[in-house]
Amino acid sequence: GMGWTLLGAGLLLALYTLLRHGLRRSPPLRARPELRGRTAIVTGGSSGIGAATALELARCGARVVLATRNAPRGEAAARRIRTETGNTEVLFMQLDLASLRSVRAFATAFLRQEPHLHLLINNAGVSAGGTTEDGFSLPFQVNHLGHFLLTQLLLERLQSCAPSRVVIVASRAHCAGRLRPDTLGRPPSALLSTFQDYCDSKLANVLHARELATRLQGTQVTCYAVHPGFVNTELFRHTPLWLKPLFLPLAWLFFLNAAEGAQTSLHCATQEGLERFSGRYFADCRLQEPWPQARDDRLARALWEASERLVGL
């Protein structure tokens, strides 16, 4: 009866705990870097990996701007981080990457009110389909084009505050990306195309970091693409309902939590001595080789030129 049910539940829980902790390496504990006097922007900073990244930067004493779309959630996250860290210099500024007009407005406002910028964490990401007001596929614009424009508009400030860094949150999903500069960002039509779009945007992230590093040689602004690990965040809120019962236990077992997912971003933002790896790809807080198409310099340059054209630079 009841006893067996409880015993069974207890065994399952024990098995689950063993599996969860056995399958996942916990991140190494590192000494906190001292970031007082440094200013960071984290896009998509109100939840998931972004919020975990912002929290840790605030703990290190940085001034942190949460650049995110939803004002009530952004304000609440900033308030929560201020309370948790005792760092009063955490603020929300509105940024909707699905609108190039919003990206320009954010950059103008930021440059007007903030004299410094040392860390730009291009973290926001979506996996949902759809088309933006600018006529691009939603994941491609939010994950790549909007961040591309944002980075360009803030580059002078990053250079004047150097040494500074740009961290671009990519994904191992870049391995399935296929980029054709002539059809870049075009809204998809086929059934599985939203997933393809997501993968394409992540390949663009890795190539963006690569080409940006080439163009920034000698400036003391460095950039890194990171794979955060498969993290159980709201990115997966668009999983179809029928898949959720299958997906959620797997997500809990195999996916990292947001704080673990933030580790590689934080490593690339703050670890000393990474300058010589500018433009490279990191996962598990270690340098890794991305897939071959993510190392194609001709494709990186073509993507850059097409991106400039599409965002009107």
How many angstroms separate the CA atoms of 26 and 24, rounded?
6
DSSP state of 233: S
Q: Whose CA is closest to 54, among 119, 111, 112, 114?
A: 119
Beta-strand pair 63-68/119-122: unpaired
How many angstroms separate the CA atoms of 211 and 83, rounded?
39
DSSP state of 27: P
Residue 231 near residue 260, CB atoms below 8 Å: yes
State in Å, rounded, how far the first CA of the chain is from the last one. 70
Q: Which residues contact 46 (CB under 8 A, 6 or more apart)?
A: 66, 68, 70, 73, 74, 76, 77, 92
Q: Which residue has the tokens 């993510």?
A: 294
User: Is the alpha carbon torsion for 150, 154, 159, 164 positive or negative?
Assistant: negative
For this structure, is 198 an active site residue? Answer: yes
Q: Which residue has the tokens 């599996």?
A: 19
Structure tokens at 229: 């690990």
Of 16, 198, 224, 281, the catalytic one is 198
Neighbours of 129 (CB within 10 A): 16
Residue type, 253: L
SS3 197: helix
Q: How far is CA 3 from CA 7, 9, 10, 16, 282, in A?
A: 6, 10, 10, 20, 49
Residue type, 195: F
Q: Which residues are catalytic?
A: 198
